[in-house]
Amino acid sequence: MKRREFLQAVSRIGGWAVSARLLAYYPPIRLSAYPSLLIPMDDAQSDHLKAYGVTYRVVQAGIKAEWLLNYRGGSFLVPDGPAIRRDATLAGVGFEAVDDGQVAGIRGEIEANNMDAVPLEKAPKVAVYVPPNAPPWDDAVTMALQYAGIPFEKVWDFEVVAGKLPTYDWLHLHHEDFTGQYSKFYLIYAGAPWLAEMVRFNGDAARRLGFETVPDLKKAVARKIRDFVENGGFLFAMCTATETIDLALAAERVDIAAAFADGTPMDPQADRKLDWTRALAFTGAHVEPNPQIASFSDIDGHQVNAGPRRQPLGAFKLFNFSAKIDPVPTMLVQSHRQVIPDFYGLTTSFVRDRLKPSDLVLADEEGAPWVKYIHGDHGKGTWTFFGGHDPEDQQHQIGDPPTDLSLHPHSPGYRLILNNVLFPAAKKRELKT
């Protein structure tokens, strides 16, 4: 097949099933009077979320792309070509053809301002941690990946314990309670068939994998995930997983979590046994000792299900970083909106006093004792924690219908999720943070 015929064939399927290996064999050439396509990410963009999918597929195909940090909301620059145009058009993504002179002008503007052009080299292989019998509520990241058309695979405890994580570049965690308390759902949903199935399924998995209790299994899984990051993996977590993975890691050498398995109160002195040097993001937290209070610890500032402790929602503001000096945090906060309405999750926010000194705050609520969005390094890899459950559903409840992202194609909160998916593709260089 000639190259033009190949690209036309790819065009007919919109790029959704592009083979990275095959397309990489056909390096891009100029196919029109315009050498490049600008995918704007400001208010001119018709679908911000699917723009990430178009860019991901370009990089996946071995074609050069650039992320223009702070330029028109964090736009993308890709080569022109019929397959890419067709993919963007079918996805409803806006693009602008730009010639050499226009590209030179863009680069001049980037050079003169707090902007940067970051090459995107290798599309990350994505895994989402989710039980095979996932309960009936949605995961914002899974929905974002599906909507954008970014491929991913599902993994859970069996794959993690078997050592499969190193085969992926990027891992997402969402609902999982790594303390083994089933998110204390028994307080509100006692008798629900899906909760009984969750307990049965996790207990069976623990026995099959050789662990005495579910908390023991979850602590082992948490350690495997930490090792994944330490060896160069990219971890992104939301909601329950942010807080509970660190609680599990801090309890690595003690058995405090096992008490929750049968609903008995925890030893009030158990906090002193926690080793926070083993955790990724948090330190000095106090575990909730009462199994009848739907809270894990004092890490979360909003305490959504803890009765009078519950705090009202406000809005959080993204920080402004130096694109040329700190490209990673700059990539993570790319958006066409700087202030974003907050949204609840079982873990909604992170109390400032519980952050490690090395943590980098990406977004917070002005004047509040908590932050929303944090990032850090661990070994050769990185972790990023984003509080809350669904950026477009502030009060999401179990059993609610999943968010229809076609109604929210410009969601700045979902953009933050997709920033995390794409930033591992960036060319690595010496960083300041």
More confident residue, 321 or 191: 321
What percent of the chain has a predicted confidence (pLDDT) above 70? 86
Options 3.40.50.880, 3.40.50.300, 3.40.50.1000, 3.40.50.2020; CATH for 126-425 is 3.40.50.880
pLDDT at 8 over 60: no
Q: How many residues in the chain? A: 433
- Residue 261 in this model has a pLDDT that exceeds 80: no
Decide if pLDDT at 283 tops 90: yes
Query: What is the structure's pLDDT at 194?
Result: 86
**What is the rounded distance in angstroms from the CA atom of residue 120 to the CA atom of residue 54?**
13
Q: Which range, of 12-16, 54-58, 215-219, 311-315, averages the lowest pLDDT?
A: 12-16
| Residue 112 to residues 106, 115, 323, 324, Cα–Cα distance (Å) | 10, 8, 12, 11
Q: How far is CA 105 from CA 34, 96, 323, in A?
A: 15, 14, 18
pLDDT cut 90: percent of the chain above it: 71
Please tell me the predicted confidence (pLDDT) of residue 357: 97
Mean pLDDT value across residues 261-266 = 51
pLDDT above 80: residue 79: yes
Q: Could you give the CA distance from residue 176 to residue 183 in angstroms, rounded to a whole number?
A: 8
| CA 161 to mean position of chain CA atoms | 22
What is the reported pLDDT for 50?
A: 98
As a whole number of angstroms, the distance between CA 388 and CA 350 comes to 10
Residues of the chain with CATH 3.40.50.880: 126-425
> What's the predicted TM-score (pTM) here?
0.89
**DSSP assigned state of 267:** P
Instruction: Express each pLDDT in 138-147 by its tens digit.
Output: 789 999 999 9
Residue 12 pLDDT > 90: no
**Range of 40-54, 131-145, 303-317 with top mean pLDDT:** 40-54
Is the pLDDT at 322 greater than 60? The verdict is yes
Among 270, 265, 263, residue whose Cα is nearest residue 290: 265
Average pLDDT of the chain is 88
For residue 373, is pLDDT > 90? yes
Poorest-pLDDT segment among 43-57, 157-171, 301-315, 410-424: 301-315
pLDDT tier at 182 (50, 70, 90 boundaries)? confident
Q: In this predicted model, what pLDDT tens digit does every residue of 203-214 receive, in sequence order?
A: 999 999 999 999
Confidence of residue 190 (pLDDT cuts 50, 70, 90): confident
What is the reported pLDDT for 27? 42
pLDDT of residue 294: 86
For residue 28, pLDDT beyond 80:
no
Separation between Cα atoms, residue 120 and residue 373, nearest integer Å? 23
Q: Answer yes or no: is pLDDT of 192 > 50.
A: yes
What digits encode the pLDDT tens for the residues 95-150? 999 999 999 999 999 999 999 999 999 999 999 999 987 755 578 999 999 999 99
What is the signed CA dihedral for 298, 299, 304, 307, rounded to 10 degrees? Answer: 0
Which neighbouring-strand residues pair with 275? Answer: none
